[in-house]
Amino acid sequence: MGKNLKSWEEWPPHIEFAYNMVVNTTTSNSTFELVYGFNPLTPFRFVVFPNISVMLNCNGVSKTQFVKDLHTKAHSHIEKMVEQYANNANKGKTQKVFEEGDLVWVHLRKIRFPNLRKSKLLLRNHEPNLRENYFQQGEPDETMTNLEEEPQSNK
């Protein structure tokens, strides 16, 4: 940017272009190529003779088929890379399989000051309700709890 701080407005198009041109290792394609089916022309591409027939199609069906094939290749490459990432992450780890009757060591931490601990993950102590929510229509809870006693008193 240099010393002139007002020239920042000139840089975002160049940054966006550079970001869209970078080949992603997971997809093995650039984001621009995945969206539009080709990489944009740059002055560097004119030095090497580009294959313009891929970018200029008179037949729209072949272009759509090309983009679909590109997406399937990218999808398969993503799946392969995810497996490779998982293998690298799990390298040296052994899978532990427990069966019924196995002895395991469980370490329970002592909870200090549980009444001072406030967390949205702790259970809330509400009075028992017969309804799932308070807005459910029906009789008040007092009469609903006495349903078992009423038939006995009628005898």
* pLDDT tens figures, 85-107: 999 999 988 888 888 989 988 88
Q: Does the residue 122 lie in any domain?
A: no
Q: Does the residue 15 lie in any domain?
A: yes
In the chain, how many domains are there? 1
Q: Does the residue 91 lie in any domain?
A: no
Q: Work out the number of other CB atoms within 10 angstroms of the CB of residue 33.
A: 20
Q: Does the residue 39 lie in any domain?
A: yes
d(CA 113, CA 122): 14
Angle CA 2–4–9, to nearest 5: 95
* pLDDT of res. 134: 57
Q: Does the residue 43 lie in any domain?
A: yes
* pLDDT of res. 14: 83
Q: Does the residue 33 lie in any domain?
A: yes
d(CA 56, CA 38): 10
**Which parts of the chain register pLDDT below 50?**
146, 155
Q: Does the residue 105 lie in any domain?
A: no
Parent domain of 74: 5-85
Residue where the block lists tokens 């022309």: 41
d(CA 17, CA 77): 24
Q: What pTM was estimated for this model as a whole?
A: 0.42
Q: Does the residue 56 lie in any domain?
A: yes
